[in-house]
Structures are given as structure tokens and as C-alpha cells.
Structure 1
Amino acid sequence: MKWKRAFLALDFGTSNVHVTLVDGDTAEMILGTSRKYRWYTPGPNEIELNAEEVWKASETAVEELMRKLPENLELLAVTFSFFGDSITPVDKDGNALYAMLPGFCGRSRSEVELMDKEIGAQEYARITGNTLSTLSSVSKILWLKRHRPEVFKKAYAFYSNQEYIMHRLGLPGVQDTTLAARKLAYDVKGGHWSEPLLELMGIPEAKLGTNIVESATAIGKISSYGSVKLPCELPVTIGCHDVSASLLSTGVKLEHSDILGVLMGTYEQIGYFSDTFVDGCNDFGDSLIFSCCYNSPFKGKYTVMDAFPTAGALLEWYCKYILQDEKADVGKLIANVPLDGENPLIFLPYAETFHGAVLGMGLGTTTDMIFESILESLAFQFVACVEYIRSTRKEPFHRLHFGGGGSRSDKLLQLRADLIHAPVGRMDNIELPSLGACMLAGLGNGVYHDLDEAGKNMVKGVHYFEPQEDNYKKYESKYRIYRKYSAAYLKV
């Protein structure tokens, strides 16, 4: 029986943790499972996660995989990817003092206004490489300071989800550069916490963490994952932000890449790596996409990204509140709508800022029509993202490579190909964050000599969707109408 070398990869998304055993030579998913965790909505525009529930979900998933572990397997390392822009106040022992506040929680709008007044949106973008918005963990910490002063005072530290999980593994107080940058209080060019932002929050840098390492770093060894005994002692590679990991596994090169990587999930995120900082972050008043430039997993390189923040979240909202069926099969819902440009509805998907709307409803409007209009609006936002990201450098991009849960649908990828009038590709293995995390673990533990070797092992085939001329013509007109209505509506 031939032995296989495999990584144990954990990908923490906004509503699921995916745990997989990935073949280190073929990128085959040997085993995989996932566990959901809840979003809590205690008030209007307030979304929370429970950090301990996130941890327990990962522990349960790892336990399931260990029970099914094949005998002919050599485990190489444990490695991670994480969604960004979350913050959890913790005590000295790493216990949560309050809920985990994700970036897509919009409760801190007043604090963003304060930041704009005290720091300014342009200066904030210069420091952090990010749009000034409620995504910012600075705004969440200011919200805690104003609305939960007892929590703010007790907080020993403000952890990202990465730090929380590492602490639970017995590796406290360590974070990688990408997740430090995604706290959005980090001077991404200087490589340190921003003094003006620390002063505004009224906290020392120690509360954001001073042990910041590169993403491929093996930060220690574990023989158990919480209460789950592992078959042997394994090195822990800290990993990185899920978007940066995904770019690696779509084949985006560190220099002069002609590929744009796309991760379709709660957010639809598009990006590439750059050796220079890209200015011009803004929130695009006629589309509300956001752009950013932050530290990549590799020293001296940046991840350039733009995204629409409520992409997959809107589909969850539709199932929960319109269909009133949280377990509805989104894949079947997509299969039931034509996506042919004939739907008269225009959906404005700006739910994060209370600007969501449906235009053109009548007494004959069906829930399927509303759902189809949501899918179209998210595809329109994708076009806006592509238009912006192409403008950030002179060298053209020739290929778009997709992965993530949303890319399972042929229809959604075909619609995007039609709209941008160019081929788009889906990776044969769409578990992009996990694969990218494995590439980092291979580099950090000497399994691969360099990124090229890691790519040869982990970046596999692509299936392309060619644009359909008839659909392009129909949707070109509808997209122009969408942008016109969108720009006018957002001014109100």
C-alpha cells in the first residue's frame, strides 16, 4: 500500500470551518468535513459570532477526521486560513469577554464618522491600505469603548480569530502579518501598528499583539487539537488571511502575474500580488465595493484586493427571511432561475449599510424573480470589482480563476463570463484557502523548496467558461441601467 503525505488544513470561514486532509503531492482532498457556527443578530445592523463556538466547531470537525484517518498516511503539518476583519476582546487567559465582531457587522457607523473626523479617510487609507468603513476593527474597538466600557477596560487584548484559535492550541499571542494587517490598524508600509490609530483607541500596541510572524512560520508543535489526540506531534504553520491563501492556489504569481484570483464566499473577493503599494482605496459611491492593499504572506509583497462585502451573505438572508428556510438548497434555487436578462427587477444589494432595495416589483413578482435579481446584482458588483482592479496597474490581466463555495455553480460563472465578455476559469479544486495554507505549510516545514515547487504540487487544472454573445448583449444594457439606478439611489 502506497503511503501518502498530507497536510491537515483548517479554513475558518464566516459561517463554517472546513477541515481537510490534503495530499501534499497531488492536492487531492483525501478527507474533508465542515461544521457550521451561528451568526447572532442582537440588534439592527448588528452581527456577532461566538468565538468559543467557532473553536468548538473546529475541534468537532478535527475529531471526525481523526476517526476516519487512513492508515497509509504521513501527516506533515497543521495549517490554517482565516476570514479577516474580526475582533474579540479577551482576558489574559484568552477567554472571550464579549462576542466576536466580524467586519460585516455595521454597528460602528458613528465610530467611523469619528475616525473620519479625527484621522480622515485619505490618511486612513494611506496607513492601512483600506477603505475607511465599518469593516475596521478600530471602529469596533471604539464602539466597545463607548458602548461597553466595562469590557473595554477589562480587555487584556483584542484578538483576531487567528489569535483566538492559536491561544486555544496553547500558542498564545502570535499572529501572522496578513491577519495583523486585517485588523486595519496596521501601518502596512511601515510594518507596525499605527501610532495615530492607537492613540485614537486609547490602547497600547500590546493589546493588538506584538508577536507578528510571516505566514509560513511554524510557530510550535502540538500532539492534540484541543481535546482531540493527534496520531503524532505535528508542527503548526500559522497560515494567513483566506484571500491571500486563495490567490496562491489559483496560480497568481508574486510578480507580473496575468491571473486574477477570485474567492466566492460571503464576500466575492478579487486580487493579485504586487511588489508596490497601490494607492486609491475608496468605497465607490455608485457601487459600494471596497478596495484594499495590505501585507501579503511574503515579505515585501502586497495583496491588492477589492470585494463586495455581502455577496454570499445576501443568499443566506434570502433563505432565512424571504423563504424562511435556513436549510434551503441554494444550488437548487440557482438551477431554477433562467439568468437570461429578461427579469424586469433591479435589486440593489447594499444591505450592509441599510441601502438594500428591490426596484420594479409588481403584484406578479415572485420569490424566484427576487432571487434571480439578487444573483444578477451580485454579478454586476463583480463587474465593478473587475473594472477597478484592472485599473490598478498598467500590465493587463488575461485570466480570472475562481474558487470557493460560490464557484460550484456553472450558471454563476457563465453569467460572469457573459458580463465581462471574456472567459473565466474554475479551479478543479475549489477549496482555495485550504490549498494556499498547505502551500505555506510546505514552504515553512521544508516540504517544498520554493513557491514554484509548491505551485506545481498544489495548483492543478482549470475549466473555462466562454462568454455567450446573446447574453452579453442583453446584460450589457441591464448593467448600464443598474449602474444608473444604483448611483442615483445611493445619493439619497
Structure 2
Amino acid sequence: MRSSPLNRSHVLVFDHGTTSIRACIMDASGAIIARHQRNFEQIYPQPGWVEHNPAELWEITLQVARAALQEAGLGWENLAVAGLTNQRETVILWDSETGVPVYNAIVWQCRRTAPFCEALKRQGHGPMIQEKTGLVIDAYFSASKIRWLLQNVPQAQHLLARNRLLFGTVDTYILWKLSGGQCHVSDVTNASRTMLFNIHQRDWDSELLELFEIPAAILPKVVGSCEQIGMIDPAFTNGVSVPLAGIVGDQQAALHGQKCWVPGTAKSTYGTGAFLVMNTGQTPVHSSQGLLTTLGTDALGKPAFALEGAIFFAGAALEWLNKKLDAFDHVREIDTLAHSLASNEGVYLVPAFAGLGAPYWDSDARGAVFGITQDTGKAHLVRAALESMAYQTQAVLAAMQSEAGLTLERLRVDGGVTRSDFLMQFLADILNVPVERTDDPELTAKGAGYLAGLAVGFWANPQAIQSLPEPVQRFEPRMSAQERERLLTGWHQAVSRVLSKPSFE
């Protein structure tokens, strides 16, 4: 006889990133005991266009799950639940009868719909869209991508006429496949990133659907982030029943994994870009400074409002220095180079390679390096790239605190770039608050795992999760106020020179 889910010992989490997919196995202590990861192809049909192959995403999903279970020495029968976290805003349309996508997934980074979004701004739709969705009009979000597919892919219209077309972000598509076509759902955190979801009514908005010419029939049902939504098709699990629960967008998952469950707590995840999210509780804060109002979760996994700021280029600035300028051979050299200088010597790098995100939202801004002299070398550029992440973080957090009326007492951080001790100390100095770095690289997966476990009773309550061991290293600010102000003034001057427009829209 197979054990019931509540008697099982582990949680499986699928983590769908922008360049890779991994499966993580968690035990009751919150530890990741096994993980397996695979990269997938990045498709660039034209400059500024970014796509993924949905069939490859699905194939790798099962591969990494089976490999992680094998690494852990476990079987499907040992799983209490499976959760999922994902890159948000990426769009897939597919045939409800065959499961075949009509086109590649259009990725959140893709800029093909930027002209249409600019037209919407000129037509004056910005305030209405921000009021309903908490978002600024941008090609970053899902709505304009769905519209593009409907207007440019004949198969989409063919299936729509036959009531066979389905839309989903990555979570929706993978859950539909995992459940054998039984679950066409998305959770509130992912839905709130489509620019079609009314975050106050917690439902798809008819006025927005009409504006973007998107039929409601193709949309998924919206569920909570901490509820069981179905089962994995037993055909994939050797006949074992495994519940599906804990569905949450990646940045909200990291917020939950960092246990930022009360208003005023915030986290920043540093990878290719950086994403800062602050819990604002049950009160939505609509920003006039380019921040996004979105939905996250509270301690129980119920919807809670959050402010979010996206920094487009964080670790990507270091990658550019490595690949294009051969500034260093290995990431271990980054801190050595940064510490080789007593100061930045007036050198600032503004990494606006494809525009600036929050709080500027200037897609026409372009990158620049300021303060170069004959003595400027690769150490200056590496240090400037690291410092740029802290300056951008400070700009976002200053806007968040001002608009929410909340005071940040500490910043929780995660992501690969946080291995840099130089960045962590400089970040604490520029923010003038302690920075807490977890040594756990899987906070995003853990956030989804906690929500999945709560949904099925694997953990009895949030207090049980709060008490789990958590290794954290704390960096205290030690820079003088005068030096902080001097550095920030230099940064603001540098940014002002790359902006294409003087103020927020």
C-alpha cells in the first residue's frame, strides 16, 4: 500500500528560470538534499527578440525531476507534494487538444512589442493600467506579447475559432502538462504580472482584455499560491499520486523564502538582473516613481501586496566585462580587483545596455562609463560594475520607503552575485542598513517549497518554517555619511547623463 501524502518525507520543487530549469528535493528541516539543473536554448530570431522552445522546457522538467530523485535516492512515493516557481511574464499559447504550442514562448526580456506599448502610453492608457494592475506599460509584461501572437500567428486564430486555444505563463503551461491537461491554472503572483489582472478585484479585467484584444476564454483560472490545485499525472510518476501545490512567481517565491512576511521587510535577488521586493501588507501602494505594485504572499501564503523594482543589469554587467573586455578570467578575481583600489577614483559605470528599469523606466537610456583617465584600468571597471548594483538598489529602496511610508531595518539578499563580499559591504554602506546574506543559493525554490508544504500540511504552520535553521552572514554599514553622500551624488550625475527623458512617466 502506498503511503498517504501527509506521511511522506520530502517536497519536490520545480524552478523554471530564464536560462535553466532545476528540480530541488527538500526535507522536513528545509534543507535541499538534492538538485539537478539543465540549461536550455536561448533563441534570438531578431535583435531584441528572445524566445524559448516550450517543448524543450517540458522535456527538461521531467528530466531534472527524475535526476534529482535519483540523486536523493528517493522515488515518487517519497514526495508529499510538488511545487513550482518560474520566470514570470513569459508567454505560451497552445492547442488544448494536442498540447502543441502555436509558437515559441516569448520571453519576458523580449522587446518586440515595445512600439505598441509606446503607442498605448501616448494614447493615455498608462494611469488606468497602473490603477488596475499596479504595473507601468511596458513590453516586459505578458499582455502585449499575447496580443502579438494572436495577430501574427495564423495557427492561434485557427485554434481560437475552434475553442482549442489556451494561454499561460510558464507556470500554467508546465502545470497543464504535469497534470495531463487537467489543470489550466495560474496563481495570483503570476497573474498579477500579465497586465491583464485587476489586483484589487483579484480577477481578469474585462476592460484590459478589450484593450489588448484578448479573449477571456483562453485565460487560466487564477488560484492561490498556497493551495493544492491538482495531481501530477500518474503516467509520469509510476502510478504514484503526487499533489501539485505551491505555485508562485520567482521573485515572490524568493520573498517568501527569505521570510519577508510582514510589511516593511524586503529582499533583493542578484543574478543577471536584480529584483527588489518589499512586503507592504494588505495596503496597495501605487507608485509615481516607476515602481510596480504586485501581489506576493504573507506568512500563511495568502495574497499580500508588495512593491517591486527591477534592475535590468546586475550580474550581466560583470558578464559583459568578462566576455567583451576580458577584464577577468574567473569570478574569484572580482573581489581582488575591486579591493586593489582604495576608492572608485571617480569612475562610474551605468549599465543601461538595454535601458534602465526602476525607478527610471527609460528603455532608450544606454550604458556609459564616466570619469575615465589614463590611469583607469580593468580594476576600476570591475569595481564600478559592482558599485552600480548598490547604487541602483539604493535608488529603488529609497523610492519604496518614501512611497510606502515604511522604514527598512535590514535587507535580505540572495543570488549568485552576492558571493562578492565587496558588493555586500558596499551595499550595506550605501544603504546605511545591515545586509543579510544567506549562504543558501536556493531561496527561490525554498519559497515555493514552503508554500507547497503548507498547502498539504507537510509543515503545520508558518512558525514551524520560521524555526528552521538558516545560515546568514550579516554586513553592517561602516561608511561615513559624508562619503556616502559624495558617492551617491556622483552616481546621480552619471545617470542623469544617460537618461533620454528627465522624469518618470
Report if aligned partners of 1:125, 1:281 keep a CA contact under 8 Å in 2: no
Structure 1 residues 178 and 225: CA distance shift in structure 2, 3 A: farther
Identity across the alignment (%)? 24
Contact 1:85 1:102 in 2 (8 A): yes
Question: Is 1:46 the counterpart of 2:53 in the alignment?
Answer: no
Once the 2 structures are TM-superposed, how far is the Cα of residue 491 of structure 1 from its aligned partner? 3.2
Whether the 8 Å contact between 1:341 and 1:474 is mirrored in structure 2 is no
- The counterpart of 2:167, out of the listed 158, 161, 169, is 158
**2:456 match:** 445
Match of 2:131 in 1: 126
Structure 1 segment 129-140 matched on structure 2, within 5 A: 129-140=134-145
- Say whether residues 1:8 and 2:16 are aligned partners: no
1:337 to 2:343 alignment: no
Unmatched runs of 5 consecutive residues or more in structure 1: 284-289
Q: Deviations over 1:174-229 (max 9, x none)?
A: 111111111121111111212222112222112222x2111112222236685xx4
| Alignment pair present for 1:463 and 2:463 | no
Question: Structure 1 stretch 411-420 or stretch 475-484: which is displaced more?
Answer: 475-484
Q: Which residue of 2 aligns with 1:202?
A: 213
Instruction: Tell me by how many angstroms 1:81 deviates.
Output: 1.0
Aligned-residue offset at 1:477: 1.9
Note if contact 1:275-1:301 (Cα within 8 Å) is conserved in structure 2: yes
Is 2:370–2:494's contact at 8 Å kept on the other side of the alignment?
no
1:276 maps to which of 280, 283, 294: 283
1:399 alignment partner in structure 2: 410
- 2:162 maps to none
Is the 8 Å Cα contact of residues 341 and 478 (structure 1) preserved in structure 2?
Answer: no
Q: 1:17 aligns with which of 16, 21, 33?
A: 21
| SS in structure 2 at match of 1:301 | strand
Q: 1:453 Cα shift?
A: 2.5
1:111-164: CA deviations, max 9, x gaps? 111222445212111111112222121222333455x24255246133200011
TM-score, normalised to structure 2's length?
Answer: 0.85
> For 1:483 and 1:151, how far apart are their aligned partners in 2?
48
Matched with 1:265 is 271
CA, structure 1 residues 188+71, in 2 after alignment: closer, same or farther (shift >3 Å)?
Answer: closer
Partner of 2:176: 167
Provide TM-score, normalisation by structure 1.
Answer: 0.87
CA distance in 1, matches of 2:433, 2:390: 14
Deviations 1:5-39 (A, max 9, x none): 22111211211223211122x21221122211232
Structure 1 position 304 matched with structure 2 position 326? no
Per the alignment, do residues 196 and 89 of structure 1 end up closer, same or farther by CA in structure 2, a change over 3 Å counting? same
Q: Does the 8 Å CA contact 2:255/2:447 hold for their aligned counterparts?
A: yes
Q: 1:35 aligns with which of 38, 54, 70?
A: 38
User: Which stretch of structure 1 is more off in the superposition, 306-315 or 80-89?
Assistant: 306-315
Distance 1:320 1:483, change over 3 A: same
- Partner of 1:391: helix, strand, or coil? helix
Unmatched segments (≥5 aa) in structure 2: 1-6, 160-164, 356-363
Q: 1: distance between equivalents of 2:482 and 2:297? A: 38
**CA displacement, residues 37-72 of structure 1 (integer Å, 9 cap, x when unaligned):** 232222222222222222233322222222223369
Q: CA deviation at 1:465?
A: 0.7
| 475, 497, 500: which one aligns with 1:488 | 497
1:409-455, CA deviations, whole angstroms, 9 ceiling, x for partnerless residues?
A: 22221120121122110124241111111111111101223322333
Structural RMSD (CA): 2.9
Larger displacement relative to structure 2 (184-193 or 395-404)? 395-404
Matched, 1:239 2:241: no
Q: Secondary structure at the match of 1:330?
A: coil
Distance change >3 Å, CA 295–CA 435, structure 1 → 2: closer
